[in-house]
Amino acid sequence: MSSYDGGAGAGDVEETPLIDTSVAHPARVYDYWLGGKDNFAADREAGELALKAYPDLAQAVRSNRAFLARAVRYLTSEAGIRQFLDIGTGIPSASNTHEVAQLEAPDSRIVYVDNDPIVLTHARALLTSTRQGDCAYIQADLRDHDAIMAQAARTLDLGRPTALTLLAVLQFIPDAEDPYALVSGLMDALPPGSFLVISHPTDDFNPNRGESIQRYNERSADQATLRGQDETARFFEGLELVEPGVVPTAQWRPDSDLTASRPSGAWCGVARKP
């Protein structure tokens, strides 16, 4: 992930050139697994190699996306949250955070954050807010939480409860960089009543443990670290976990038995700051 290099709001998103399509890129590989069209040959090759080692991976990625929608619906309809800070946004797809939140609560305000120039080129699609709410995009790195909060305060009232969402992004922070301290620092900047939403890729559900991530890392510029249930649960220390706790993505408050039975490739959870 790159360092912070500026922010963009609804009226000033700039196109960022110089995107290397010859090397697999996480956002584009993820887009490929979701069935999107914003990917290139190198991304499809890396994605297919990972799928050979873990055939359920594409369905597991879709379970992660469905978890996002269920979590946002819970936060708006049951927890009364109206502000979202979505870090590690990725290429826009179906059921983006603002679409789900503003369908439930049109006055919701969303700030998207990503350090990826590929995502920046798609940011306009993320800035289609309702008239009652607001959306903004910040080009920044997860590690630069002071800069993120300063820019987010232009759109969000950080004195009010806010949901911080970190979906399928923390795997790109290696243990040596202490991802737990990064998440704790972000939550420290939010008031009581705020929520943390995390999904974290794991190999726990893959019969060929280690093989898919090895193939992915061999062809991707951004190396990923998979973590287990206990390691994922550690991100929520000091917070109040919402039932059912840290579970596979398909099993977090599923809307049907079919949803719950779908493959998962990540642990997830939602927790409240007391």
Coil, strand, or helix at residue 164? strand
The residue with greater pLDDT, 151 or 90, is 151
Q: What is the pLDDT of residue 97?
A: 96
Helices 57-77 and 97-104: crossing angle in degrees, nearest 10, is: 30
Identify the CA nearest to 183 among candidates 236, 141, 138, 226: 236
Report pTM.
0.86
Pairing of the two strands 109-114 and 83-87: parallel
Find the distance separating the first CA and the last CA of the chain, reported in whole Å.
31
Tokens of residue 121, six digits: 């080129």
Q: Which domains are present in the chain?
A: 7-14+58-205+225-272 (3.40.50.150)
The whole-number average pLDDT for the span 20-27 is 78
How does pLDDT run across 200-223, given as a tens digit for each residue? 999 898 777 666 676 666 666 678
Residue 94 has pLDDT above 80, yes or no: no
How does pLDDT run across 115-127, given as a tens digit for each residue? 888 888 888 777 8
Residue 195 has pLDDT above 80, yes or no: yes
